[in-house]
Structure 1
Amino acid sequence: MDFLTMLKAIILGLVEGLTEFAPVSSTGHMVIVDGMWLKSEQFLGKYVANTFKIVIQLGSILAVIILFRNRFIELLGLNFGRKTADAAGATSGKKLKLTHVLVGLLPAGVFGLLFEDFIDEHLFSVQTVLIGLVIGAVLMIVADRLRPAKPKTESVDQITYKQALSIGLFQCLSLWPGFSRSGSTISGGVLLGMSHRAAADFTFIMAVPIMAGASTLSLLKNWEYFTLEDLPFFIAGFVSAFVFAIISIRFFLKLINKIKLVPFAIYRIVLAAIIYIVYF
């Protein structure tokens, strides 16, 4: 592949890494940037291009695993009883269990399997992303306005199974590109009485298995369309997403409890308006 093509992969990785864990929809941003300017379908084909937008998230997953490594070690029972501090800034392993994560993953996992073909075929477009951006923004504003004055769940270690399942149901909304996984789950967590930081921590932890599963399924489904020539494009996007996700996660975790969700919602609405004017 030539330099310009590789640069496109790096740009898409940058977009993915910077937006994956902010409540603005990384997939939505990639669809918009790619659909309006980069046009990866023209040299990758539709199915490989759509798979790239999913598989590139593996770079962001690796960033989460590294930053939350102590948390994952404890969830998997590999710390042998030792308590350590993770990227969330709290002592891990106190109450959060792997079963909480599995309960949170169940709804979106089931819906994702049932509607994967429909999503791939009909929802990866600029028009559908704009709808997701606006409706997701409304949910975020509502969550901030209706949240309890004092959260009853300050830390992710205090999460209940009922909260985990309810957040999992909110995560189903993120199957619509543009809605945002973190936007839907953090909004759901806040409405359920969690602090913004606790909801964000649980969102990041849940993201690893569900994003890994989605990437694996997409690769297996579209494997016949790949060629060795596509590999450098995927590697460049993966590395770019990883680097910028590391930066984004650290920044977002320091920011979310201070500014809440409304500023991100306003950004989404403004972005949707600008894209609508430019694109249509």
Structure 2
Amino acid sequence: MDIIEIFKALIIGIVEGVTEWLPISSTGHMILVDEFLKLNMSDAFKEMFFVVIQLGAIMAVVVIYWKKIFPFSFKQKQFIKKDTILLWVKIVIACIPAGIVGILFNDKMDELFYNYQTVTITLILYGILFIIIEKWNKGRTCKVNDISELTYQTALIIGLFQVLSLIPGTSRSGVTILGAILIGTSRTVAAEFTFFLAMPVMFGASIIKILKFGFAFTSLELLVLLTGMIVAFVVSILAIKFLVGYIKKHDFKVFGWYRIALGIIVILYFTIFK
């Protein structure tokens, strides 16, 4: 029944909205969710859906950080906000490495790495790294405490870390936050810059998937896609606000332990039931 598929899209939208921004791997969760829900659509549609649903999540960043990312001002004497333009230059620089690798090797990487074995390894590996790096980082003085202090070189290094997120289960937000912390960026700045990086990366990935799928949507496909995107948007707003508030008082170790636990669940599920 159509209503069942729409309900599944709603659940997937909730999962996407939460896991896209928390450093716990949206892909790992999507694999588990799809195992249980079994969205009754074509494989081509599902491949596109699980990527394009992220457009809803992107809009949450746009809404929350509109004043910081919109480069024009109609109230001040200077129409163009110089600081915002410089921020966008840094965002573009940071997105170049993942953009190049993604365009050249997207299909090959999906073929090689989009499986539960890879997701399990990356979930657990980066979970351990979160715990180790947070312990190592305790007591260190951060070099970058405001996003305006990010240099072009720092932005590029964070962008290089983002390339690792092309491997499923890594978590784009997780690996960029880890990378930013390693080079002396505060958790708050690392998380915020990660949110900004998501905009061009997710938009670009979504465009590629839509063009590959085509625009001949059935009414049900369109409704399922819109439901997932809208729900992901609403939930993403809550998830982003939660994460920003959380990291002001806590570190990321809890997410590391969660990743390890999820990785174990994934491997046990596929080993026992598959």
1:100 maps to what in 2?
A: 90
Match of 1:133 among 123, 127, 147: 123
Match for residue 245 of structure 1? 236
Matches within 5 A, 1:174-185: 174-185=165-176
The separation in 2 between residues aligned to 1:95 and 1:51, in whole angstroms, is 32
Pairwise CA distance, 1:114: 1.2
267-276 vs 178-187, which moves further: 267-276
Paired with 2:85 and 2:190, the residues of 1 have a C-alpha distance of: 15
Q: Tell me how far apart the structure 2 counterparts of residues 188 and 21 of structure 1 sit (CA, whole Å).
A: 16
Aligned-partner Cα distance in 1 for 2:42–2:239:
30
Residue of 232, 253, 264 corresponding to 2:223: 232
Q: Is the 8 A contact 2:68 2:84 kept in 1?
A: no
Amino acid at match of 1:265: G
Please tell me the residue identity of whatever aligns with 1:236.
T
Structure 1: distance between partners of 2:84 and 2:230: 33
Q: Distance in 2 between matches of 1:113 and 1:82?
A: 40
Whether the 8 Å CA contact 1:61–1:211 is kept in 2: the answer is: yes
5+ residue gaps, structure 1: 84-91
What is the one-letter code of the residue matched to 1:118? Answer: K
Structure 1 stretch 102-111 or stretch 123-132: which is displaced more? 123-132
Change (3 A) 1:205 1:278: same
- Give the equivalent residue in structure 1 for 2:36: 37
2:68 maps to amino acid: R
Q: Which of 118, 124, 128 is the matching residue for 2:114?
A: 124
Partner of 1:20: 20
Q: Which residue identity is paired with 1:261?
A: F
C-alpha change, 1:163 and 1:55, in structure 2 (3 Å) is same
Map residues 40-51 of structure 1 onto 2, 5 A cutoff: 40=39, 43-51=40-48
Show CA shifts across 1:173-192 (max 9, x none). Answer: 11111100110000000001
1:120-146 residue CA offsets vs partner (Å, 9 max, x unmatched): 334333232212211222332333233
Partner residue of 2:213? Answer: 222
- How far does residue 7 in structure 1 lie from its aligned partner after superposition? 0.8
> In structure 2, what is the equivalent of residue 89 of structure 1?
none
- What corresponds to 1:55 in structure 2? 52
User: Is 1:111 aligned to 2:110, yes or no?
Assistant: no
Q: Distance in 2 between matches of 1:228 and 1:123?
A: 32
Q: 2:262 corresponds to which residue?
A: 271
Q: How many residues align?
A: 266
Partner Cα separation in structure 2 for residue 140 and residue 151 of structure 1: 17
Whether contact under 8 Å (2:147, 2:193) holds in the other structure is: yes
In the alignment, structure 2 segments of 5+ residues that lack a partner are: none
Match of 2:72 in 1: 78
Q: 1:255 aligns with which of 242, 246, 265?
A: 246
Separation (CA, whole Å) in 2 of partners of 1:179 and 1:137 = 9
Residue matched to 1:191: 182
Measured on the aligned residues, the alpha-carbon RMSD in Å equals 2.1
User: Contact (CA 8 Å) 1:141, 1:261: kept in 2 or not?
Assistant: yes
Contact 2:2–2:220 (Cα < 8 Å) also in 1:
no
Supply the distance in 1 between the matched residues of 2:33 and 2:86 (Cα, whole angstroms).
37
Q: Percent identity?
A: 40
Q: Does 1:3 align with 2:11?
A: no
Distance 1:246 1:202 in 2: 16
Which residue of the partner structure matches residue 204 of structure 1? 195
Residue 82 of structure 1, CA deviation? 4.3
Instruction: Name the CA distance, whole Å, in 1 between partners of 2:254 and 2:260.
Output: 10
CA gap 1:197/1:124 in 2 versus in 1, 3 angstroms = same
Q: Which amino acid aligns with 2:163?
A: C
Report the AA paired with residue 120 of structure 1: D
Q: Tell me if the contact between 2:69 and 2:84 (Cα under 8 Å) persists in the aligned partners.
A: no
Aligned counterparts of 2:114 and 2:247: Cα–Cα separation in 1:
28
Counterpart check, 1:64 vs 2:61: yes
CA distance in 2 between counterparts of 1:212 and 1:94 reads 19
Query: 2:145 matched to 1:145?
Result: no
